[in-house]
Amino acid sequence: MLAAVLEDVGRMVLKELPKPTIKKYEVLVRVKACGICQTDYSAYTGRRTNWTPPIILGHEISGIIEEVGEEVKGWNPGDEVVLSPVISCGECDNCRLGLEHYCRNGKVIGGEGQKVVLPGGFAEYVAVPTSVLYKKPKNVSFDSAALTEPLAGSYKGMIEYSNLRLGEDVVIIGAGAMGLLLLELAVAGGAGNTIVIDVVDERLEKAKELGATHTINSKIINPKEAVYDIIPNGPDIVFEAAGVLEAAKLAFELTRRGTRINMFGVIIPGTIPISPAEIHFNETRVDASFSVNPRVMTKVISLLEKRKVDPGKIITHKFPLTEIDKALLAMELPERIKVVINP
């Protein structure tokens, strides 16, 4: 099979490798689409260092089952599937508490968050256990379905952790892929004002297309003043989805009494100044959302099937696996939102 192997920082090499051999409880999936996550790109650029070369990245995967192991039941060649990247043991204390993404014996397919990283979706084939498989709805394209995992992570943050309620005012800092998926969920969940802040006009235009009631270019106008001009009483929820420390700082600056903050995007080292006293007296609720679990994957696939959200709307660039170098260059484009590889 053809695979893109990250052999060192900045060195992604296309190679012919043996097709994976499946174990008796695994299936072989022919990858139809795989999204490039910012964490993938951070590994490529060296910004992320928690990986060991050589590695096949890519954890946002949809495809078709080509072969099933001898002990596999309920799955057949030809089934169209979505993959969760998280492989949990199901037996440790965290798994039994429903926190499979905290699994003490966990593995991850092509991503990060676990010590054991298995080959991912920047390849023509991937071998996976049946525990990570979900049926792809027939009315959803492979490209859209590949973004189930980031959508599920957004659902966990917006709906389950930050508890969006009907009519609440939401501010999302960052109009990249994750920020726009959060926006789609906020709109579908009945948010009141949905305000998106970014520094790239093209991304803010996409936010308007996806239902943002207001957009703010923070490079041009003061974002706090602009937010409070729109909602004088302040936001109910603020999501940091830009991935930079300045956005995390702004999230706290936008709060009023009772605001709920979700630190969703910053995964790089660093600190920001915050006041414990202000958090105390304002009863600021600070949360975060990392990775996915079977519950939110199942919930989001239902939303996709019912056409309540469509993550495919944020895809701006698509490339065959043979043009992985062009796909990585596209990650630097200011207008880029989501890049998808089609092996």
Same-domain pairing of 165 and 131: no
Domain for residue 301, yes or no? no
**Letter string b/e over residues 316-342, b meaning 16 or more CB atoms within 10 A of that residue's CB:** bbebebeebeebbebbeeeebbbbbbe
Q: Quick one: pLDDT band at residue 119, thresholds 50, 70, 90?
A: very high
Give tens-digit pLDDT for 251-295.
999 999 999 999 998 877 889 999 999 999 999 999 999 999 999
SS3 state of residue 71 = coil
CB 290 within 8 A of CB 150: no
Alpha-carbon gap, residue 164 to 215, rounded angstroms: 20
Same-domain pairing of 16 and 131: yes
pLDDT at 17 over 80: yes
Q: What pLDDT does 113 receive? A: 80
Average pLDDT over residues 111-128: 93
Alpha-carbon gap, residue 138 to 307, rounded angstroms: 12
The burial class, CB within 10 Å (0-12 / 13-18 / 19+), for 222 is exposed
pLDDT at 138 over 80: yes
Q: What pLDDT does 224 receive? A: 98
Give tens-digit pLDDT for 56-92.
999 999 999 999 999 999 999 999 999 999 999 999 9
What CA–CA distances, in Å, run from 63 to 37, 41, 187, 300, 327?
17, 22, 29, 17, 19
Domain for residue 148, yes or no? no
Give tens-digit pLDDT for 179-193.
999 999 999 999 999
CB 60 within 8 A of CB 150: yes
Domain for residue 296, yes or no? no
Note the residue count of the chain: 343
Alpha-carbon gap, residue 77 to 67, rounded angstroms: 6
SS3 state of residue 75 = coil
Same-domain pairing of 106 and 165: no
Q: What is the dihedral of CA 28, 57, 287, 227, to 10 degrees?
A: -120
Backbone torsions φ then ψ of 116, nearest 5 degrees: -95, 120
pLDDT at 52 over 80: yes
Same-domain pairing of 92 and 12: yes
Q: Quick one: pLDDT band at residue 50, thresholds 50, 70, 90?
A: confident
Global pTM reads: 0.95
pLDDT at 51 over 90: no
Same-domain pairing of 278 and 183: yes
Alpha-carbon gap, residue 12 to 125, rounded angstroms: 18
Same-domain pairing of 105 and 164: no
Average pLDDT over residues 6-14: 96
Domain for residue 142, yes or no? no
Place of tokens 């499979």: 100
Same-domain pairing of 214 and 318: no
Could you tell me how many helices (H) and strands (E) the chain has, helices first?
11, 18
Q: What pLDDT does 193 receive? A: 98
Give tens-digit pLDDT for 152-185.
999 999 999 999 999 999 999 999 999 999 999 9
The tally of domains found in the chain comes to: 2
Give tens-digit pLDDT for 196-237.
999 999 999 999 999 999 999 999 999 999 999 999 999 999
pLDDT at 150 over 90: yes
What's the chain's average pLDDT? 96
Same-domain pairing of 326 and 257: no
Alpha-carbon gap, residue 142 to 315, rounded angstroms: 12
pLDDT at 40 over 90: yes
Place of tokens 């689409």: 33
Residue 275 forms beta bridges with which residues? none
The CATH number of residue 89's host domain is 3.90.180.10
Alpha-carbon gap, residue 92 to 163, rounded angstroms: 27
Same-domain pairing of 122 and 228: no
Range of the domain at 70: 2-136+310-342
The CATH number of residue 167's host domain is 3.40.50.720
- ∠ CA 253-255-260 to the nearest 5 degrees? 130
